[in-house]
Amino acid sequence: MKIFRTSLLALAAFAATPLSAQQITLYSGRGEPLVAPVIAAFTAETGIGVNVRYGGTSELAILLQEEGDRSPADVFWSQDPGAMGAIAGMMAQMPADVTDRVPAAYRDAEGRWVATSGRGRVMARSTERVADDALPGSMLDLTAPEWNGRIVWAPTNGSLHAHITAMRVMLGDDATRAWLEGIRDNNPIAVRNNTAIVQSILDGEGDIGLTNNYYISRARARADDSPVSQELFAAGDIGNLLLVAAVGVLESSRHHDEAVRFVEFLLSPAAQQFFVSETQEFEVVPGSAIQAGRMLTLEQVTEAAPEVDLNDLSDLEGTLQMLRDLEIL
Ligand SMILES: [Fe+2]
């Protein structure tokens, strides 16, 4: 899979050192190892230079709000949709021929941001201790007595927090709190992170886990016969959320066209394949990338996804408060 990284870097190497008359500024909540190779390839192809300010997604969103129209940023690339939703009002509308490459569920309806890749929330299942016909149809069913002591989760994990925020948007705070209480009272096994969730199932401690798709792929990549599988809940269930990274162009940008070109580049097959190969996330442009050994396709995940407006996922603090109130955190 490293071949795709190599091809991006090779493309970058062909470029003469860019004496770019044109330069854009990117605020990136995604980390440098994932972003720098893409920027090098973009500059090689377009001659447009990119200054990057790296930071936490939430901090950068707050900084953009403070800077307002005076911000030097042309582009904001967010690790999750919540922070983008919180400042969507500052983002410019992008051309439909760019944003329409991504399925409607993974872009702003007004064209102010578009996803760049996605982490699928899925269920990890012990193939030894959970039969096919025993799988829960909904994530909400995990509060049933039959799952007592068998669920593994990672209460401090950011993807779980985003998922619970989406639950609050879709089902309301009361139903979400009731579900969390039900899970808490079902004696779940709490572990540190997503890797530990899958390991717990492999070790025979837990039988079913709530995690991101690529952690199961990784375990299977290490040993093909690992007794853990990746499952979706019934179509439309809140359990099947795709959490996306998202990018948009600031309304205040004085380099709008160059900034849109950068967004376009992130949706190109070369960039989409790079994200899939590096992070094992899902591509968001259908047909733009392949991944050996992946257990679900983007089409399957999109078809099964719940209807949640990703603009509404900004109240992380409310979610953390709920978890503290229930003494889960
Ligand atoms: Fe992760």
pLDDT tens for residues 40-93?
A: 999 999 999 999 999 999 899 999 999 999 999 999 999 988 889 889 999 999
pLDDT at residue 224 in the model = 78
User: In which band, very low, low, confident or very high, does the pLDDT at 223 lie, cut at 50, 70 and 90?
Assistant: confident
158 Cα to the center of ligand 1, angstroms: 9
298 Cα to the center of ligand 1, angstroms: 18
- Domain extents for the chain? 2-118+243-304, 119-241+310-325
Pairwise pLDDT comparison (221 vs 298), residue with the higher score: 298
28 Cα to the center of ligand 1, angstroms: 17
Of these ranges, 17-21, 64-68, 291-295, the one predicted with the greatest mean pLDDT is: 64-68
pLDDT at residue 16 in the model = 43
95 Cα to the center of ligand 1, angstroms: 31
Specify the range with the lowest mean pLDDT, choosing from 11-20, 199-208, 230-239. 11-20
Q: Going by CATH, does the domain composed of 119-241+310-325 fall within 3.40.190.10?
A: yes
Average pLDDT for residues 2-17, to the nearest whole number?
54
Pair 78, 288: CB distance under 8 Å: no
Structure confidence by residue, pLDDT tens digits, 51-62? 999 999 989 999
Q: Is residue 292 predicted with pLDDT exceeding 80?
A: no
Q: Is residue 214 predicted with pLDDT exceeding 50?
A: yes
16 Cα to the center of ligand 1, angstroms: 36
Pair 305, 240: CB distance under 8 Å: yes
Q: Going by CATH, does the domain composed of 2-118+243-304 fall within 3.30.70.120?
A: no
269 Cα to the center of ligand 1, angstroms: 22
pLDDT at residue 58 in the model = 87
245 Cα to the center of ligand 1, angstroms: 12
pLDDT at residue 72 in the model = 98
Structure confidence by residue, pLDDT tens digits, 252-274? 999 999 999 999 999 999 999 99
pLDDT at residue 215 in the model = 93
102 Cα to the center of ligand 1, angstroms: 22
272 Cα to the center of ligand 1, angstroms: 17
What is the residue-averaged pLDDT of the chain?
92
212 Cα to the center of ligand 1, angstroms: 7
Q: Is residue 245 predicted with pLDDT exceeding 80?
A: yes
User: How far, in Å, CA of 301 to CA of 170, rounded?
Assistant: 18
pLDDT at residue 12 in the model = 58
193 Cα to the center of ligand 1, angstroms: 9
What does the chain come to in residues? 329
User: In which band, very low, low, confident or very high, does the pLDDT at 11 lie, cut at 50, 70 and 90?
Assistant: low
35 Cα to the center of ligand 1, angstroms: 16
Q: Is residue 17 predicted with pLDDT exceeding 60?
A: no
45 Cα to the center of ligand 1, angstroms: 30
68 Cα to the center of ligand 1, angstroms: 31
Structure confidence by residue, pLDDT tens digits, 90-142? 999 999 999 999 999 899 999 999 999 999 999 999 999 999 999 999 999 99
Q: Is residue 2 predicted with pLDDT exceeding 60?
A: no
